[in-house]
Amino acid sequence: MARVFNFSAGPSMLPEAVLEQAGAQITNFQDSGQSVMEMSHRSKVFAEIFDETKANLRAALNVPKTHEILFLQGGATMQFAAVPMNLTAGDRRRADYAITGSFSNLAYKEAQKFAFCNKACSSEDSNFSYIPEQSQLKLDPGVAYFYYCANNTIYGSEWPYVPETAVPLVSDMSSNILTREVDFDRHAVVFAGAQKNMAPAGVTVVIVRKDLPKALDGTPVMLDYQTMIKSDSMHNTPPCWSIYILGLTLKWMIRNGGIEGMAQLKQQRSSLVYDFIDNSDLFSGTVRRSDRSGMNITFTTGDESLDRKFVSDAESAGLVNLAGHRSVGGMRASMYNAMPIEGAAALVAFMKRFELSVKGVN
């Protein structure tokens, strides 16, 4: 079978050049006589992969010296606990949470085990179809941090602005990291699971301010940012293979214009699909236009059985994983950095054909 256009929300497509390079090196990395999967994480050859990957990530995202880059395990979900455990010791035991979808809700619930959390806003009243505006945020200047999920993978919305707050920001950027610049002067912690824009599942990128306070008493060592900062993510065995693939993906990204190139591609891909949806009599988007995600495009025909037919016909045409999340239904086209513009064009061409066939034209 030829390679398909895979619209999965994650794990998702990786650049073909990266897969080929990893394949070519799989049994013998750069004449070391070993696969990266077999190497000691403390060996010189792996140290080079690790250091280069970290340096390339620092350069790509313009991460200042005030912040450390960590390569951790446990997925983005583990950070839902790590964040409050590391940021709410001392007299700032409270945190503000913006609830704009499933993952921010999960993060809020987890954080409540360790800190006093306020809902600074919620778009649940309208099935998370929008991002609240700055004027709608209920901000408490005494909290340790303000938490938001920059891109809501399930509902298909993306913050069109960076919240203005008196306190540091914490952001889950799992589904839009490396697609836009990040202002690290305002973010104390940015984290992202790798399996959408960076690498296979296994590594979680966590970028933290180095001068964070001591973690809460009783914080497990694997969740303690200071331990991981001191050991350069090597308190135990790091996810070596995923870090290596992240390194290859970053080099691919640099060859393709870096963040700016990725941001342009994101804009081109998503406007192709949104423009078609906006002019279609059959399909409609599910998110307020100003807040639509550049990565996860959610849409529906309004008829569940037609939606199911769309997903299954698309699969037969080589466009796979277009079903919406099981909790939402409809369709979702996830197009991360590795999705070529041809994938978006093929999706639009298929949507056109489908619409015509429903109208009985074909």
Ligand X SMILES: Cc1ncc(COP(=O)(O)O)c(C=O)c1O
Residue 43 dihedral angles phi and psi, to the nearest 5°:
-75, 160
Given the complex with ligand X, which of 46 and 71 has the nearer CB atom? 71
> In this chain, which stretch among 132-140, 170-178, 263-271, 273-281 interacts with ligand X, using CB under 6 A?
170-178
Residue 73 lies near ligand X (rule: CB under 6 A):
no
CB atoms under 10 Å from CB of 112, counted, come to 13
Look at strands 94-99 and 116-122 and give their pairing.
parallel
Residue 11 lies near ligand X (rule: CB under 6 A):
no
Stretch 83-122 residues interacting with ligand X (CB under 6 A): 103
Given the complex with ligand X, which of 10 and 84 has the nearer CB atom? 10
> In this chain, which stretch among 46-54, 71-79, 112-120, 354-362 interacts with ligand X, using CB under 6 A?
71-79
Q: Which of 237, 212, 234, 236 is nearest to 225 (CA)?
A: 212
Stretch 146-165 residues interacting with ligand X (CB under 6 A): 149, 153
Q: Which of 79, 33, 94 is nearest to 189 (CA)?
A: 79
Minimum distance from CB of 2 to ligand X (Å)? 27
Residue 174 lies near ligand X (rule: CB under 6 A):
yes
Given the complex with ligand X, which of 191 and 354 has the nearer CB atom? 191
Given the complex with ligand X, which of 75 and 168 has the nearer CB atom? 75
Residue 175 lies near ligand X (rule: CB under 6 A):
yes
Cα gap 226→89, rounded to integer Å = 13
Q: Contacts for 192-195 with beta carbons within 8 Å, 24 or more apart?
A: 192/76, 193/10, 193/75, 193/76, 194/242, 194/246, 195/10, 195/11, 195/12
Residue 276 dihedral angles phi and psi, to the nearest 5°:
-65, -45
Collapsing DSSP states into helix, strand and coil, what is residue 54? Answer: helix
Residues 168/187, Cβ–Cβ less than 8 Å: yes
Cα gap 280→274, rounded to integer Å = 10
Given the complex with ligand X, which of 74 and 318 has the nearer CB atom? 74
Given the complex with ligand X, which of 75 and 258 has the nearer CB atom? 75
Collapsing DSSP states into helix, strand and coil, what is residue 127? Answer: coil
Given the complex with ligand X, which of 32 and 105 has the nearer CB atom? 105
Residues 362/353, Cβ–Cβ less than 8 Å: yes
Minimum distance from CB of 296 to ligand X (Å)? 8
Residue 171 lies near ligand X (rule: CB under 6 A):
no
Residues 284/351, Cβ–Cβ less than 8 Å: no
Among 22, 69, 76, 333, binds ligand X (CB under 6 A): 76
Among 172, 224, 307, 355, binds ligand X (CB under 6 A): 172
The site that binds ligand X (CB under 6 A) totals a number of residues, namely 11
Minimum distance from CB of 74 to ligand X (Å)? 7
Please report, as ranges, the residues that interact with ligand X according to CB under 6 A: 10, 75-77, 103, 149, 153, 172, 174-175, 193
